[in-house]
Amino acid sequence: MNVGEMGEFAGALLILTGAIASIISVFGLIRLPDVYTRSHAATKSSTLAVLLTLSGAFVFFLFSENFISVRLLLGIGFVFLTAPVAGHVIIRAAYRSKVKLADISTEDELYEKIHGENADKAL
């Protein structure tokens, strides 16, 4: 097995790992109780899945065709920077729209930060 074949195998393994991470995030979206935990599953694992898939494509093309794709590198950087921020902004908007936490949630730390520690917990 030469270096090119090993690079192609590494790229394919990264792409497969990204696909598995994407499937795991789907289970999180289905099973978790509220919008906050679902968004956590969607943002974190889907970001990881996309980054692994794009990285795998970059490695595959680098070793199979000796091609450095600037578009893939820009895509990796763009997803790495924007996906977590977008997830945070969406959840902040849901919180400010007074979307209820799940019944199993025990503490709302952001409420205490915004309204003070002695604030009434009735939303």
Q: How confident is the model over 20-51, as pLDDT tens digits?
A: 999 988 988 899 898 988 988 888 888 999 99
Q: What's the pTM value of the predicted model, to 2 decimals?
A: 0.81
Q: Is the pLDDT of residue 123 over 60?
A: no
Predicted pLDDT at 86: 93
Tokens of 20: 């598995």
Predicted pLDDT at 65: 92
Q: Is the pLDDT of residue 60 over 90?
A: yes
* Angle formed at CA 21 by CA 20 and CA 25, multiple of 5 degrees: 120
Predicted pLDDT at 114: 79
What SS3 state is found at 96? helix
* Distance, CA of 31 to CA of 87 (rounded, Å): 19
Predicted pLDDT at 103: 85
| Exposed/middle/buried for residue 18 (C-beta within 10 Å: 0-12, 13-18, 19+) | buried
CA dihedral (107, 109, 111, 112) in degrees, to 10, reads 110
- Give CA separation, 46 vs 31, 71, 106, in Å: 16, 20, 26
Render pLDDT for 72-122 as a digit per residue (tens, 0 to 9).
999 999 999 999 999 999 999 999 898 888 888 888 888 778 777 665 555
Predicted pLDDT at 119: 58
Tokens of 79: 């997803």
Question: 35-65 and 3-31 are packed helices; what angle lies between their axes, rounded to 10 degrees?
Answer: 170
